Structure 1
Amino acid sequence: MLNTSNNNTRKMIVIHGGHFSSLEGFYEEISKVLMKDTDWKVGTLDGFNDILYGGFGIFESHEEIEILWEESEKSRKDLGLIATKEFYENKIRKGKPFNIELVRQKLKDLTEGKGQTLFEILVEIIESHRNIILKLD
């Protein structure tokens, strides 16, 4: 949920890892937390990245925010190797519009220990926004 504590006017947003155990569940949690009072729901990694730019949902563009990801170790496991492998395998099964060769390479990298898990991808997306501070709890 959203806590609007003012630590240096920075808005605090809490993601509760205990509320979900899959990528779809993460999207539902994020939609509830960040897209409150809108009819738009997060459903892709690109969509998640887009809402972090702000300007709609609960915060303004470039507003300073802090995201506290509670039970992040649970999320790290839930969105780890197995879930990521299934994520890529589903994309390969669906085919177009996905770049199947790229997805196969990402799956290969993952199984060889060189690729990122879904959790690591989500953390990287959050940390790519300079106005957002992420704290894993």
Structure 2
Amino acid sequence: MKLNTSNNNTGKMIVIHGDHFSSLEGFYEEVSNVLMKDTDWKVGTLDGFDDILYGGFGIFENKEEIEIIWKESQKSKEDLGLKATQEFYKNKIRHGKPFNIELAQQKLNDLLEGKGQTLFGILIEIIESHTNITLTLD
């Protein structure tokens, strides 16, 4: 976890409020409201979330230094934990194409064996893959 310990005011500070949502769809709505305000585009997938973090078409520019503070992150960790993640993969398997059923089943199996990532972990990993973003879990 990259934590911002200095008072560097050179970039933008963005706050995600975990108490504003309790599902992945709610998370997408929250980040759309926070990161994409005044645009017609809304986040609706994990890939879409990753895309907006590159910047350039929301509230920050491409490669601009930003800090994301995720308030009530412990609540989000529970809300987007094991149960929600199992349901996420089961829905993909049930839906079928265009989803990769085999991959979804493998991810579900990994999760059931205690070695897979929850949705919360996946979202954290996506954020941390962007070197211009500092994440603080609050």
Cα deviation per residue 1:70-124 (whole Å; 9 max; x = unaligned)? 0000000000000000000000000000110000000000000000000000000
Q: Which residue of 1 aligns with 2:69?
A: 68
Q: Give, in whole Å, the separation in 2 of the partners of 1:48 and 1:130.
A: 15
* Alpha-carbon shift at residue 7 of structure 1 (Å): 2.9
Q: Which residue of 1 aligns with 2:78?
A: 77
Q: Does 1:48 align with 2:49?
A: yes
Identity of aligned residues (%): 81
Q: Give, in whole Å, the separation in 1 of the partners of 2:58 and 2:11.
A: 16
CA RMSD across the alignment: 0.8
Q: Give, in whole Å, the separation in 2 of the partners of 1:126 and 1:43.
A: 16
Gaps of at least 5 residues in structure 2 are 1-6
Q: Which has the higher contact order (CA 8 A, sep 6+)?
A: 2
* Alpha-carbon shift at residue 32 of structure 1 (Å): 0.1
Q: Give, in whole Å, the separation in 1 of the partners of 2:103 and 2:91.
A: 13
Gaps of at least 5 residues in structure 1 are 1-5
Q: Which residue of 2 aligns with 1:121?
A: 122
Q: Does 1:88 align with 2:89?
A: yes
Q: Does 1:9 align with 2:10?
A: yes
Q: Give, in whole Å, the separation in 1 of the partners of 2:34 and 2:41.
A: 12
Q: Give, in whole Å, the separation in 2 of the partners of 1:60 and 1:101.
A: 37
Q: Does 1:133 align with 2:134?
A: yes
* Alpha-carbon shift at residue 10 of structure 1 (Å): 1.3
Q: Which residue of 1 aligns with 2:112?
A: 111
Q: SS in structure 2 opposite 1:7?
A: coil
Which structure has more strand as a fraction of its residues? 1
TM-score, length-scaled by structure 1: 0.95
Q: Which residue of 1 aligns with 2:58?
A: 57
Aligned length: 132
TM-score, length-scaled by structure 2: 0.94
